[in-house]
Structure 1
């Protein structure tokens, strides 16, 4: 059995944060942390005796502010982010095909999956894929801002994510229906936006969503491009 990630939830933004732990060791990686949960997340690390190696972002979020900068300052961890998201202060600027290493030989494979944003990435670790806002459980992220593209998202999901083994567990960046985990196989067969849908139908569907602008986008995106810290910090 592959080790399970620790899944944490932010009620305000319906955001999942994940802690990955190197089996048999103390090194850990946190994915998509939220600013007002920084003390909660630090308590989890302390309680489990973990040493944070990396703070990892899937993209520059529009609906919440990251705690990446604060966690880096408090723990000595390094920040890692997609190169195409403009998160300049991150020590590791990740490209498609990169491998992030932590612990005793633990590796996280980096997949560039544009569509929700131009720089969005997903991360594969031990039979798990952390999909950010690219692929949600029975859904997907919107494509109408931050250089989003329904065409690109269709290619990212069908060409890269659906090419993973069916048993790969899908851990999304958000959920709004009380769901927590899925599999690539289930999403390929049942995802209401993507399963058995042609590219043209998907692009048409995404173009007709008419979703409201995220309330925090004008604050969150610039903040997240600075790892959630005030500019100049």
Structure 2
């Protein structure tokens, strides 16, 4: 397997490139629209063909690059099937394998951050999106989120994976790149250390997080597989800045 971890600093989002070394077919997990040129450059450098994009969920903090990548290179768009998005080419279902050359990706439905959230297992790695972060987890107070549901998704689904499974999160805000299931079970201050569901629900209820500054633009754009809104306030234009300036996009 060919693997690259790529970082978008504005939203602190990790995009993951995995590819079949035999066929050169590649997929991107959680591409970000303002990193489109970077992703295409990496694919070109490695001599890979982008066949598919997969999003872990409908994002609230950035615009996915799925639609623009399809327009540029003909890649298919994979999104959770239960979202019923007309722009989707491949509806992702729990435990229904996605194959790409010699690669086999196992989707795991992990709701709680959002009701349509998925994690993806590929070999020794699991790409956990916003369900499980390094020493943390995604918030549960919008997009049909639920602390109780997220607790079960992590403790019953993700923590059931082998302890040596490498955890690659959707974001990290402190420069950390990888963890493991065993590490998160042992020390995650929200969901590890034997924390009970009641304790987790109380913790999440007390966070009092501010309203996400980009959500009202990101969610509608991402329900169209990555459309940059035309009415972005000036302070948010960087979220689609590179895309709108690209003469090829």
Residue of structure 1 equivalent to 2:241? none
1:31 matched to 2:17? The reply is no
Name the structure 2 match of 1:218: 216
Deviation at 1:97, TM superposition (A): 1.2
Q: Deviations over 1:2-40 (max 9, x none)?
A: x46311111100000000011333111101011111011
Q: Secondary structure at the match of 1:136?
A: coil
2:173 to 151, 159, 176: 176
- Say if 1:85 and 1:120, in contact at 8 Å, map to a contact too: no
Q: Does the 8 Å CA contact 1:85/1:118 hold for their aligned counterparts? A: no
Superposed CA RMSD: 1.2
Do 2:125 and 2:167's aligned partners in 1 also have CA atoms closer than 8 Å?
yes
Q: How far, CA to CA, are the matches of 2:111 and 2:199 in structure 1?
A: 19
Q: Counterparts of 2:81 and 2:35 in 1: how far apart (Å)? A: 25
Structure 2 equivalent of residue 207 of structure 1: 205
Name the structure 2 match of 1:146: 143
| Contact 2:2-2:20 at 8 Å conserved across structures | no
Q: CA deviation at 1:98?
A: 1.1
Regions of 4+ moved over 2 Å = 84-88
Deviations 1:62-84 (A, max 9, x none): 00001100001111111001123
Is the 8 Å Cα contact of residues 133 and 141 (structure 1) preserved in structure 2?
A: yes
> Is there any run of 5+ residues in structure 1 with no aligned partner, and where?
none
Deviation, 1:88, is 2.9
- Rounded Cα–Cα distance in structure 1 between residues aligned with 2:2 and 2:183: 19
Question: What is the DSSP-based 3-state SS (H/G/I as helix, E as strand, rest coil) of the residue aligned with 2:116?
Answer: coil
Match of residue 164 from structure 1 = 161
2:17 alignment counterpart: 19
Q: Report the Cα offset of residue 160 of structure 1.
A: 0.4
- Aligned partners of 1:80, 1:22: CA distance in 2, in Å? 18
Q: Tell me, what secondary structure is at the counterpart of 2:58? A: coil
Q: How far off is 1:45 after superposition?
A: 0.5
- Secondary structure of 2:67's counterpart equals helix
Q: Are 1:112 and 2:96 matched, yes or no?
A: no
Distance in 1 between residues matched to 2:72 and 2:124, nearest whole Å: 30
Conserved? CA contact 2:63–2:228, under 8 Å = no
Of 215-224 and 24-33, more deviation after overlay is shown by: 24-33
1: CA distance between counterparts of 2:16 and 2:209? 27
Which whole-Å CA distance do the structure 2 matches of 1:53 and 1:223 have between them? Answer: 22
Is the Cα contact below 8 Å between 1:87 and 1:224 reproduced in 2? no
Using the size of structure 2 for normalisation, the TM-score is 0.89
Once residues 120 and 168 of structure 2 are traced to their aligned partners in structure 1, the CA distance between those partners, rounded to angstroms, is 10
Structure 2, unaligned runs of 5 or more? 230-249
Q: Following TM superposition, by how much is the alpha carbon of 1:85 offset from its aligned partner in structure 2, in angstroms?
A: 3.2
Q: Deviations over 1:157-189 (max 9, x none)?
A: 000000000111000000011100000010011
- The answer to whether the 8 A contact 1:60-1:87 is kept is no
Q: Distance in 2 between matches of 1:87 and 1:30?
A: 19
2:49 aligned with 1:48, yes or no? no
Q: How many residues align?
A: 228
State which drifts further: 140-149 or 92-101: 92-101
User: TM-score under structure 1 normalisation?
Assistant: 0.95
